[in-house]
Structure 1
Amino acid sequence: MFSVPTLTTARLTLRPMRSEDWAAYRWLMGSERAQYMGGPFSDAAAWGMFCSDHAQWDLFGCSALMIDETVTGACVGQVGINAGPLFPEFELGWFVYPEFEGRGYAREAAEAMLSWAKEVRQLPSLVSYVDPANARSAGLALRLGAELDPKAERPSPGDLVYRHY
């Protein structure tokens, strides 16, 4: 079994989730910003997602890490590799809280998670499921080197699937 890692980049610390992360996570999942992830979600649904993000480490050896600015300690978002019955393949996903957007944090965190997935977890490929209206996430998937895979299975029929090789 894999332990939950802590990863570092030039500016970020990707760390295990803590209970104090719930308030900001709940706000995001309950807001219109969650529309690209199937939301907005009720508190109960968001709590289930939060707990799933934590539990996947024990069940599948991968899941979410919170993204902190190393210098300030501020939590800026989340990056993770989702697995399990709701995901046809291992899925790389990310979000950044609104006040921290536009600083390249999602890309930096996703690159670190991709490296971990290949070097430590040794996953042969990952996908990112992206709502077609979410141009920023689609653009990030492409900047990460992913390619659109129109034949890939997807959890939601309308999702675009970007394959990370």
Structure 2
Amino acid sequence: MIPTLTTERLILRPPVFADFPAYETLWASSRSRYMGGPYNSFAAWGLFCHDIACWELFGHGALMIDLRETGDCVGQVGINHGPLFPEKELGWLLYEGHEGRGYALEAARALRDWAFAERGLPTLVSYCDPANARSIAVAERLGAVRDEMAARQDPEDVVFRHSP
């Protein structure tokens, strides 16, 4: 069962098909360059399905980030794994215009804490492109520490390790 988590300002909820157009737009844009993109529709669909399939396969996956006040979906937070990720990865993305308000930090903290408390995960990593200063700042604000020895999906990634 996919949980719904709430924070002071956010509702983290299961993805639905209606979320795909905004998700696809992000992956087709230059904003996805820090995550291996841009991607075409077929690749974006594969990533979207991966985010959902992780729930069935691993007991964790992606949740959409909605604002409690308006109900607007502003991005996604997830715990990824499988052949695309060497370790369980805590990742986040925000749609254009929603950066700089602490949503990624708030969502990532909630999902991380859920993963440690409810799933008993011993550790998580966040893979950050070295040029993505915003994601690096989120990882640091979460209290994650650089792990130079961690396996990487991309040799250039900076890896941050989260511990309970």
Common topology (TM > 0.5): yes
Please give the residue correspondences for 1:1-165 in structure 2 after superposition, counting only pairs within 5 Å. 3-165=1-163
Q: CA deviation at 1:128?
A: 0.1
How far 1:85 moved relative to its partner?
Answer: 1.8
Mapped to 2, the partners of 1:57 and 1:155 lie a distance apart of: 21
SS in 1 for 2:38: coil
SS in 2 for 1:119: helix
Q: CA deviation at 1:86?
A: 1.7
Could you tell me which runs of 5 or more consecutive residues in structure 2 were left unpaired when the two chains were aligned.
none
Q: CA deviation at 1:57?
A: 0.5
Q: TM-score w.r.t. structure 1 length?
A: 0.97
Distance 1:140 1:12 in 2: 17
| Counterpart amino acid of residue 138 in structure 1 | I
In 1, the alpha carbon distance for the partners of 2:86 and 2:36 equals 17
Residues 28-57 of structure 1: CA distance to partner in whole angstroms, max 9, x if unpaired?
000000000000001110011011111110
Deviation at 1:83, TM superposition (A): 1.0
- Aligned partners of 1:64, 1:129: CA distance in 2, in Å? 16
What's the offset of the Cα at 1:65?
0.1
Residue identity over aligned pairs, in percent, reads 60
Q: Give me the whole-angstrom Cα distance separating, in 1, the residues matched to 2:112 and 2:41.
A: 30
Q: What is the CA-CA distance between 1:98 and the residue it aligns to?
A: 1.4
CA deviation after TM superposition for structure 1 residue 63, in Å: 0.6
Matched residues, number: 163
AA aligned to 1:131 is D
What's the CA shift for 1:6?
A: 0.2
Q: Deviations over 1:114-152 (max 9, x none)?
A: 110110011000000000010110111011000000111
Distance 1:75 1:9 in 2: 14
Query: Normalising to structure 2: TM-score of the pair?
Result: 0.98
